[in-house]
Amino acid sequence: MAEKKSTTPSHKVLPDQTPPNAYGFWAPRCWHGMLFSDWIRLLVRGRFAIRPAAWGLTFAVSCVTVFNSVMRLLQELFYGRRLDQTEIKQAPVFIIGHWRSGTTMLHEMFVQDERFSYPDTYQCFLPNHFVLTRPFLAGLVNALLPSQRPMDNMPMGNRRPQEDEFALMCLGQLSPYLSLAFPRRPWQGVESLDCEAMDAQDLQRWKQALLWFMKRVTYCNPKRLVLKSPPHTGRIKALLEMFPDARFVHIVRDPFVVYASSMRLWRSLSRVQSLQLASDERWEEFVFDCFERMYGAFERQQPAVDSSQFFEVRYEDLVSDPLGQMRAIYEHLDLGDFEPARPRLEKYLAGVADYQPNSYDLPPELRARIVQRWGRFIEKYGYST
Residue 10 confidence class, pLDDT cut points 50, 70, 90: very low
Helix axes 342-351, 103-110, angle to 10 degrees: 140
Residues in the chain: 385
Q: What is the pLDDT of residue 28?
A: 84
Mark residue 324 as left, alpha or beta (left: phi above 0; alpha: psi -120 to 50; beta: remaining).
Answer: alpha
pLDDT one-digit tens code per residue, 37-96: 999 999 999 999 999 999 999 999 999 999 999 999 999 999 999 999 999 999 999 999
Count of beta carbons in the 10 Å neighbourhood of residue 344: 14
Summarize pLDDT for 216-239 with one digit per residue, the tens. 999 999 999 999 999 999 999 999
Does the residue 8 lie in any domain?
no
Q: Is residue 228 a part of any domain in this protein? A: yes
pLDDT at position 2 is 37
Pick from 329, 331, 306: which is nearest to 240 by CA?
A: 306
- Band of the pLDDT at 145, cuts 50, 70, 90? confident
Spatial distance between the Cα atoms of 222 and 77, rounded to a whole number of angstroms? 22
Rounded Cα distance between 234 and 374, Å, is: 16
pTM higher than the cut 0.95? no
Q: Does the pLDDT at position 167 exceed 90?
A: yes
Q: Classify residue 2: in a domain, yes or no.
A: no
> CATH number, domain at 129?
3.40.50.300
Count the domains in the chain.
1
Is residue 5 situated within a structural domain? Answer: no
Check: CB of residue 225 under 8 Å from CB of residue 214: yes
Run of H or E residues at 313: strand 310-314
Q: Are 149 and 142 in contact (CB under 8 A)?
A: no
**6 pLDDT above the threshold of 50:** no
| Mean pLDDT score, 257-261 | 95
Report the run of H or E that residue 95 belongs to, with start and end: strand 93-96
Give CA–CA dist 45/110, Å, rounded: 38
- 26 or 192, which is more confident: 192
Q: How confident is the model at residue 5, as a pLDDT?
A: 38
The parent domain of residue 363 ranges over 23-380
Q: Which of 155-159, 249-253, 281-285 has the lowest mean pLDDT?
A: 155-159
Residue 12: inside a domain, yes or no? no
Averaged pLDDT for residues 175-200: 97
Higher pLDDT, 360 or 345: 345
Q: So what's the pLDDT on residue 143?
A: 80
Residue 35 lies in a domain: yes
Average pLDDT, the chain: 90
pLDDT band with cut points at 50, 70 and 90 for residue 297: very high
Kindly state whether residue 17 falls inside one of the protein's structural domains. Answer: no
Instruction: Give CA–CA dist 154/197, Å, rounded.
Output: 33
Question: Residue 374: what pLDDT?
Answer: 96
Phi-psi label, residue 336: left if phi above 0, alpha if psi -120 to 50, beta otherwise: left
Answer whether residue 18 is part of any domain. no
